Amino acid sequence: MSAIITIDPNTATVATQAPAAKAQAKIPPRRIDFNFSAENVPRYYVGNDPFLTTFVTALSSVFPEGEFFFVESVRHYRDRVTDPALKADVSGFIGQEALHSMAHKAFNDAATVQGFQVDKLDRDVGILLRAVKRFSPPMFQLAATACLEHYTAVFTEMLLQNDELIERFSPEIRNLYLWHSVEENEHKNVAFDVYQTVGGSYLLRASVMIPTTLIFFPVILWFQARLLAKDGQLLNVRQNLKGFNYIFGYKGVFSSLLPKYLDWFKPNFHPSHHDTDALLATWQEKLFGENGALTSKMVKPKSKKA
Ligand SMILES: [Fe+2]
Ligand SMILES: [Fe+2]
């Protein structure tokens, strides 16, 4: 059974609580005891490939600050959500994203110790997002969160389906991304539903996707270039072109996601239109079932004394 974690709604800090009340939650935050030490994670943890490793590390560098931004932008509107089911989903969303943020921070810290300087990227994401928070209205921030949640849902759905790719990850990093991918698909509707509930328009959500995309990919590629340069791999042209082609080339990992990405621009789009129920059920059992790969790594909640 999944461990149930609750998040303090005022601070987004994580605390464990008695599981009974939330046992039926559709979106259960699960705390996993990851080990990202250098003994447990090889330096080039994706297929022993510096390009793919630095690409995934660049993605991870945006998660701690990015997911905290998601939490804040949804929490800003939580008092305007009256539907009990959506309220419960918002609590689950906040719990899952807060734990993702913490897990990726732990990974990023370990990668920094290995010499990747992810701490500097993490700092720069914080500067960017604080500027967005300062100079844009809350509805824009919520729309941007819904856009980025669409990205993560589409990307993680692919990851759960792409055995060839996920098998390239070293075991503990595979655990990290499988756990994260399942939970992203469990809560993929939440930011969108809150956005719709509080009156977000189609025009805004469609138009916000354009600057979000124009900022997201250059930032990731810039971050990756910095990681490659620091690692002395930036001028390894043959290796980098091969890796770039694997991700962005014709039938590449990301290029193949284009049709699902473009679904966002349909006026009647809803994240549930990408049906992942069967995929989720399979992976929930594989990871968190009785003999699940992560079941023994799940941190059990401490019961509160009355
Ligand atoms: Fe997440
Ligand atoms: Fe998410």
Tens of pLDDT, residue by residue over 170-189, are 999 999 999 999 999 999 99
pLDDT band at 26 (very low <50, low <70, confident <90, very high): confident
Ligand 1: centre distance to CA 147 (Å) = 13
Ligand 1: centre distance to CA 64 (Å) = 9
pLDDT band at 251 (very low <50, low <70, confident <90, very high): confident
Ligand lying nearest the CA atom of residue 89: 2
Ligand 1: centre distance to CA 237 (Å) = 32
pLDDT band at 304 (very low <50, low <70, confident <90, very high): low
pLDDT of res. 25: 67
- CA dist 263 and 135 (Å) reads 28
pLDDT of res. 302: 67
Ligand 1: centre distance to CA 82 (Å) = 24
Residues 6+ apart with CB under 8 A from 279: 157, 160, 161, 185
Residue 21 has pLDDT above 50, yes or no: no
pLDDT band at 16 (very low <50, low <70, confident <90, very high): very low
Considering its fold, how many domains does the chain have in total? 1
Ligand 1: centre distance to CA 251 (Å) = 26
Residue 5 forms beta bridges with which residues? 16
Residue 16 lies in a domain: yes
Tens of pLDDT, residue by residue over 98-130, are 999 999 999 999 999 988 889 999 999 999 999
Residue 154 has pLDDT above 80, yes or no: yes
Residue 304 lies in a domain: no
Range of the domain at 119: 5-297
Report the candidate in 138, 108, 114, 150 with the shortest Cα–Cα distance to residue 126: 108
Ligand lying nearest the CA atom of residue 186: 2
Strands 14-16 and 5-7: antiparallel
Residue 223 lies in a domain: yes
Ligand 1: centre distance to CA 100 (Å) = 5
Residue 161 lies in a domain: yes
Ligand 2: centre distance to CA 96 (Å) = 8
Residue 96 lies in a domain: yes
Which CATH number goes with the domain that contains 289?
1.10.620
pLDDT of res. 200: 97
- Residue labelled with tokens 């005022």: 10
Report pTM: 0.89
pLDDT of res. 7: 46
Residue 303 lies in a domain: no
Residue 184 lies in a domain: yes
Ligand 2: centre distance to CA 58 (Å) = 17
Residue 138 lies in a domain: yes
